[in-house]
Amino acid sequence: MIPTSFPDKAEMARLTAAMLWEIDAVNFMDEAPFKLASGKPSPVYIDCRKLISFPRIRATLMDFLTVTVMREAGFEAFDNVAGGETAGIPFGAMVAERMALPMSYVRKKPKGYGRNARIEGVMTEGQRVLLVEDLTTDGGSKLSFVDAIRETGAECAHTAVIFYYGIFPETEKTLGDHGVALHHLCTWWDVLEAAPARHNAVLDEVSAFLNDPHGWQAARE
């Protein structure tokens, strides 16, 4: 079933943030900071992989993500949905099912044997491919996936994620300069607004990071 009638973007962001808190997907550092995909430190980490273990929440969020993409990119904008290894694979499969489209996935690097492929599944020249991932921080890790898709002769001008950090000003420019539009459900600002009162004691450190991520990281590298 292809979802078409859902709450507006602000309400979906609020509900998504509440669900992330509900399943304890929001993690705070104890002593050592977390390491992001970029290699940079962070006092907080969103673990979207946990979502696959909660059927009602994962179904709702995949409906939200699908309708967000269709509203923002178009209802007939894609021919294929690709999940990024590894966290994006289950979400890519669920979005593809909702959009009634073929599904493929993109490896981080060639597998090193057999066809030595980076693309698994069927992806053909000229197809318009939606790249689905769990989250994005500064957008850099998406570029390798996009390039691998384009090397097949397919097009990739859109990526969709559940969670977007929303604190690195260069992110959308990095993607935009590569010809890729970003679609997302919620950001750190939505998560912070939905934070349960019991976390007030640690939110000062989190706020310091969110308001000046590069400065916070530079002081800890």
- pLDDT tens for 180-218 read 999 999 999 999 888 877 666 667 778 888 888 888 888
pLDDT of residue 27: 87
User: What are the phi and psi torsion angles at 89 (to 5°)?
Assistant: -65, -50
Q: Is the pLDDT of residue 112 over 70?
A: no
pLDDT of residue 51: 97
Q: Is the pLDDT of residue 47 over 60?
A: yes
Which two tokens mark 170? Answer: 């260069």
Q: Is the pLDDT of residue 105 over 70?
A: yes
> Which residue stretches of the chain are H helix?
9-22, 55-73, 88-99, 140-150, 171-177, 188-193, 200-211, 213-218
pLDDT of residue 155: 98
pLDDT of residue 28: 83
pLDDT of residue 205: 75
Pairing of strands 34-35, 41-42: antiparallel
Secondary structure of residue 24 in the 3-state scheme: coil
Of residues 39 and 27, which shows the higher confidence score? Answer: 27
Which two tokens mark 74? Answer: 């178009």
Mean pLDDT of the chain: 90
pLDDT of residue 158: 98
The CA-CA-CA angle for residues 142, 137, 45, to 5°, reads 130
Residues comprising the chain, all counted: 221
pLDDT of residue 216: 82
User: What are the phi and psi torsion angles at 51 (to 5°)?
Assistant: -60, -30
pLDDT of residue 169: 84
The domains located in the chain, with CATH, are: 9-107+115-140+154-165+185-195 (3.40.50.2020)
Pairing of strands 44-46, 80-84: unpaired
pLDDT of residue 215: 87
Of residues 141 and 47, which shows the higher confidence score? Answer: 47
| pLDDT interval class at 1 (50, 70, 90) | low
Q: Is the pLDDT of residue 31 over 90?
A: no
How far apart, in whole angstroms, are the C-alpha atoms of residue 195 and residue 203?
A: 9
pLDDT tens readout for residues 139-159 = 888 999 999 999 999 999 999
Of residues 64 and 41, which shows the higher confidence score? Answer: 64
Residues 81 and 92: beta-carbon distance below 8 Å: yes
pLDDT of residue 195: 84
